[in-house]
Amino acid sequence: MGALSQFRAGVIGAGVFAEANLYPSLSLHFFDDLERAAVCDLDTGRAERLAGKYGWGSIYNDFRKMLDTEKLDAVFVCLGGAHHPEVATAVLERGLPVFLEKPSSIDVEGTRRIAQAAAKAGRIVQVGHQKRHGLAYNRAREIIGDRERFGTVVQIESKMHGFTVFPTFYTCMLEWQCHNLDLVVSFGGDIAEIQSMAFRQTEKTGGLVSLLRFQSGALGTLAWGTYGGPGQFAERIEILGDRGRGVIVTNAREVTCYDEDVGETWAPDWNPISRNQSHVFNGYVGELRHFIDCVREGREPVPSIHDEVKTMDWLARIAGGAGIPLEWAPVSSAL
């Protein structure tokens, strides 16, 4: 097989999260077919520093100028939900596919605008829910995908504890538990019915539980809220099939598969050749590879912006049903 042609990409955003995950993932994990063409941030100092550290070419502080000047195959956008609709639609209008960090927007309307622009341009947008591509969740998907042995999914129990840095309750959901919802629907399918209840201890803190019925008829439970995370015990999902089997993923790492007789636990192996394996375990490397492959092969990615419109809508309904105002406020990853 011949070498792949170079995939010429630009990044808009050189903030804290991009520095911690996006740039190192794209530069230190064998993206040999990637041409690191250009970086843009309003803060030129940060753009210069990250471009220098991770081997990117030109530097811009005006993303429109970058798009006009560079001949790119795709753009990675990592700015924040309040900026994403404007920037992502402008990139799509120039005919380029977009990898878009979550949250895609701060409201469903913004996400819908991006989806419409993607449909109009005939270009893909993948949303940065990296858990879909995490190693442990992929292992769970393999187990569940063996329909002969696992059967049909009948019930999903999921928790993702929040933490108290978020300026509003809904900001915690939009910035953090959106990942959990994306994951739950990736296993359960579309949601038909939602009931939720919150303990609103203060304006910005409390507990939240939700009952879901998927369109398949299967049931789901969510335990979220603003306490308990983001540490070691924050995350757990259990998926039950109708052939006596189930699978549990604990803290995005450990996968236990059980049936009536025996349980077996699997954890991803450590490979010392990679400099920061958590970029791989957590799914950052996998999602970025998936995006490039989907652009190259003309495939719809997961999760796509069209999946995301539904997820954003369900997220708002979960909050609304529990009396949580749909109020978002800025928060930095430099917590």
Ligand X SMILES: NC(=O)c1ccc[n+]([C@@H]2O[C@H](COP(=O)([O-])OP(=O)(O)OC[C@H]3O[C@@H](n4cnc5c(N)ncnc54)[C@H](O)[C@@H]3O)[C@@H](O)[C@H]2O)c1
Using CB under 6 A, which of the segments 14-22, 64-72, 137-145, 160-168 binds ligand X?
14-22
Out of 7, 9, 10, 12, name the contact with ligand X by CB under 6 A.
12
Out of 85, 97, 110, 128, name the contact with ligand X by CB under 6 A.
128
Residues numbered 161 to 220 that lie near ligand X (CB under 6 A) are: 175
φ, ψ (nearest 5 deg) of residue 247: -135, 135
Out of 28, 42, 154, 234, name the contact with ligand X by CB under 6 A.
42
Using CB under 6 A, which of the segments 23-31, 35-43, 146-154, 320-328 binds ligand X?
35-43
Out of 59, 79, 92, 184, name the contact with ligand X by CB under 6 A.
79
Alpha-carbon distance 105 to 60, whole Å? 23
Question: What SS3 class is residue 167?
Answer: coil
Alpha-carbon distance 288 to 296, whole Å? 12
DSSP secondary structure, 32-98, as one string: TTEEEEEEE-SSHHHHHHHHHHHT--EEES-HHHHHHHS--SEEEE-S-TTTHHHHHHHHHHTT--E
Under rule CB under 6 A, residue 132 binds ligand X: no
Question: What SS3 class is residue 126?
Answer: strand
Encoded one letter per residue, x for contact with ligand X by CB under 6 A and - for no contact, window 273-312 reads ----------------------------------------
Using CB under 6 A, which of the segments 77-85, 220-228, 262-270, 315-323 binds ligand X?
77-85
Q: What is the DSSP pairing of strand 246-250 with strand 235-241?
A: antiparallel
Using CB under 6 A, which of the segments 31-39, 100-108, 227-235, 304-312 binds ligand X?
100-108
Token digits for 215?
């369109």
What does the binding site for ligand X look like in residue numbers (CB under 6 A)?
Answer: 12-18, 40-43, 46, 63, 78-81, 83, 87, 101-103, 128, 130, 175, 332-333
